[in-house]
Structure 1
């Protein structure tokens, strides 16, 4: 059985909720991807988000806690009608994942969970930077990923 402090458990549940949203938003974005390189990057990102989602769910269950469920849909707050708008949403969802995983990193001493959190934080930051470069947003990289 995995031990999760209240702080680590709350942070991990928040990161998991961000991962659920990311998987959903990437599915939405795939409908608007007009370039093959963008479709390929979306597919790779969805695979990574699913892996992190599954890991977070497993850790929460191993701690005898109930992981938050994915929502049937998410309010994206804006209309998506083309690839550029979809990528804008992907940048936002990656930023949410950065924040979630950074919180896990800051709230646990468990080495394996810290490794997962660091993986989640860095891969989200790299993807967000790549998406910003794709649409020409400057600066492309944030100096402190995951900082609220």
Structure 2
């Protein structure tokens, strides 16, 4: 493995996996939203997750690693039948992305990877906060985004 440690490679692979899952989940959630503002936020999130996924894949290839492809489907742990349930699922997927990117941040000294990880962590935390506000949850923002429970 050239360029990054085994720990950083695993963390980057996990973050990539979270991004793949997020893109799939956003596609699913989009089928259950009715409000234009929610649909617009989903489109914005898909663009951001696509950029992060592509960046993670490029970083892995530069390091001589083969990025894991997306799965054909993901287990969402229950039924999604309305906008509220879809938004709950979006909070979960953003939390998973936070954990993935925080792990990258904690496992590398590479400035470029750290910038990407910080972007992934902060944008996922911001989106999770937005989704909590959509559901009227308080507190909307969580302490220490990406920290494992």
TM bin (shorter chain):
over 0.9
Q: Give the drift of 1:2.
A: 6.3
For the pair 1:105 / 2:99, whether they are aligned, the reply is no
Aligned to 1:135: 135
- Unaligned ranges ≥5, structure 1: none
Question: What is the TM-score with the length of structure 2 in the denominator?
Answer: 0.97
The answer on whether the counterparts of 1:24 and 1:73 sit within 8 Å (CA) in structure 2 is: yes
Aligned to 1:64: 64
Summarize deviations over 1:31-87 as a string: whole Å, max 9, x none.
011100000000000000000000000000111111111000001001000000000
CA distance in 2, matches of 1:47, 1:6: 29
CA RMSD of aligned residues (A): 1.0
CA distance in 1, matches of 2:115, 2:28: 29
Please list, as runs of the form range in 1=range in 2, the aligned pairs for 1:115-130 lying within 5 A after superposition: 115-130=115-130
Aligned to 2:10: 10
Q: Give the drift of 1:140.
A: 0.6
Deviating above 3 A after TM superposition, structure 1's stretches of 4 or more consecutive aligned residues are none
Question: What is the TM-score with the length of structure 1 in the denominator?
Answer: 0.98
- How many residue pairs are counted as aligned between the two chains? 148
